[in-house]
Amino acid sequence: MSDADKVDYDVIVIGGGGAGMAAAIQAADAGARVALLEAANKLGGATALAGGLFYASGTAAQHELGILDTPEAMYQDILALNGDSVPHTLVRRFCDDAPNVMRWLMELGVEFPPERLSAPSARFVPRAHEPVGFGAKIAEQLDLAVSKRPIDVARMSRVDTLLTDAQGAIIGVRVGDDEIFARSVVLACGGFGASEEFVARLLPKARRVGDWVWNVGCSTNRGDGLRMAESVGAPLVGENSALLLQTPNFQRDLEVIGPDWALMVNSLGKRFVREDGAYYEISEGIEAQPDSKAFFIFDRPLFETAKPHPRVLEAVKLGIATVSWVTRVLQEQLEKGRVIESPTIAGLAQKIGVDVASLTATLARYNELAAIGVDADFEKSPASLKPVATPAFYAVEVRPAALIVTGSGMPIDVEARVLNASGAALPGLYAAGETVGNLYGRHYVSSGYAIASSITFGCIAGRSAAAYARAQAAA
Ligand SMILES: Cc1cc2nc3c(=O)[nH]c(=O)nc-3n(C[C@H](O)[C@H](O)[C@H](O)COP(=O)(O)OP(=O)(O)OC[C@H]3O[C@@H](n4cnc5c(N)ncnc54)[C@H](O)[C@@H]3O)c2cc1C
């Protein structure tokens, strides 16, 4: 009997996070015999740790709120942001499928109430649908749906190798000493945040912040999908595609919405971004600075009234965020010398190594804008535009360092087939989620993009893998 004749399953899915569970369910619903192999002792992955925001347009929640939006408008917005850095066909497929996948999640028991729909700021159409119970609820309902189907689930099963036949087609996987054979395999092993080796290799921008970088995501996501895809001829694409969120110098902080009430400057003492912008815009703004660092600057009244954004408090309750920007923590860090204090702006500039004249001029301009309540320079909203004028003055260094999403990996096509270096599909191999490298593009699209694209392409991968297995069986 040749290897190709040994078939334990139609579809093996590697990784039981959002993408993998969606793939397994869809493949099983298409009639495939499915195994779902998960490295951890439970299903969920980073999906279960997430806020769970789901980016989609033309949804019932938008309709209820009278928001006129369509997949076409979302497609155009993504292309306007990312141009040719992401294949247009993939963007089109994502935009068209995402509202259906969100409806499917709702059928599985996830609620996306209209009142939780949001946009990172008023400049964007609200498309980030926050589920009741956050990402944990999405993971729980997917897990439940898996358990209701004849899917063989093996936890504590880290797949290390893809098996191929003499022609290079994928015919199964190896877990330690065990070989399991299947007609097709879906890679849904998440990103590589827990792999120092891949971070060093694929994220040169992370090197610029050195040992500040820390992995917020799932500790079992070590880039195995990337390694396995590469071993069978897939290139790794999307270098530097990752979300590194701003982190203060005093704690490993996941306060996605930072102190929008403060002023942010670079090492030259100049503003470069609206401080109440979307978290990923702020991170990208800091990354674009020559030394990849910035300072939040504020005065005594702002120090004394410092409090986190209400949405951060919700995340804190859930244990997925830490609070840094509150008076109590700032006072503690002042005593430890991490919050820098000076009675004058000139003194503060000297202490943080910023040009005195430049910081003084920036402060003067900012206070002028605050006085009229209009940020003509960066369009910060009037509510967050507070004067920084009453001594003492404070500075906190921040860097883009909290690694929350990685988006470098193997390329896929619209059917979630993994492509080789010539752009041809590798027979029998599919992928979805953070393990994929051509979904994110130059800029992170918006809150909710990671979960929505992971689960949407997870569904596509499951159906495609099942169809391929069916065709193979019939051949
Ligand atoms: C704190 C936090 C908040 C976030 N909030 C949001 C949000 O609100 N909205 C949003 O869009 N995105 C958010 N994200 C990102 C989003 O959660 C992920 O991009 C998405 O869930 C990835 O799904 P996935 O299925 O690709 O990976 P995961 O859900 O991480 O699943 C991968 C699974 O593969 C398993 N695995 C890894 N290697 C192997 C192997 N060799 N063999 C077997 N199993 C393996 C892992 O154990 C894991 O269970 C957040 C991320 C974090 C960490």
Tell me which residue has its CA closest to atom 3 in ligand 1. Answer: 50
Kindly state if the Cβ of 47 falls inside 6 Å of ligand 1.
yes
Mutate to test the pocket of ligand 1, among 412, 454, 456 (most ligand atoms within 8 A of CB): 454
Mutate to test the pocket of ligand 1, among 161, 220, 318 (most ligand atoms within 8 A of CB): 220
Q: What is the pLDDT of residue 323?
A: 81
Q: Could you count the other beta carbons within 10 Å of the beta carbon of residue 60?
A: 14
Cα of 55 from ligand 1 centre, angstroms: 16
Compute the average pLDDT of residues 37-45: 98
| Residue recorded with tokens 């949407």 | 456
Question: Cβ(40) to ligand 1 under 6 A?
Answer: yes
Q: Is the CB of 182 under 6 A from ligand 1?
A: no
Place of tokens 């009675």: 343
Give the distance between the most distant pair of CA atoms in the chain. Answer: 82
Q: Please tell me which of 229-243, 248-262, 277-291 the model is most confident about, judged by mean pLDDT.
A: 229-243
**146 CB less than 6 Å from ligand 1?**
no
170 closest CA partner among 425, 455, 411 = 425
CA distances from 344 to 50, 340, 348, 390 (A): 41, 12, 6, 9
Q: Tell me the sheet residues that pair with 410.
A: 436
Please, what is the average pLDDT of the chain?
94
End-to-end CA distance of the chain: 17
In this prediction the pTM is 0.94
Q: What confidence score (pLDDT) does residue 1 get?
A: 43
Q: Kindly give the distance from the C-alpha atom of residue 192 to the centroid of ligand 1, in angstroms, as a whole number.
A: 10
Share of the chain above pLDDT 70, in %: 97
Q: Residue 311 pLDDT > 90, yes or no?
A: no
Residue nearest atom 27 in ligand 1 by C-alpha distance: 190
Would you say the CB of residue 409 lies under 6 angstroms from ligand 1? no
Cα 457 to Cα 188: distance, rounded to the nearest angstrom: 10
Q: What are phi and psi of 243, to 5 degrees?
A: -100, 115
Decide which of 290 and 175 is more confident.
Answer: 175
Structural domains of the chain sorted by starting position, each given as residue range(s) with its CATH number in brackets: 3-211+219-241+407-474 (3.50.50.60), 243-402 (3.90.700.10)
Give residue 371 CA to ligand 1 midpoint distance, Å.
44
CA of 171 to the centre of ligand 1 (A): 25
Please indicate whether residue 247, judged by its CB atom, sits closer than 6 Å to ligand 1. Answer: no
pLDDT at 3 over 60: no
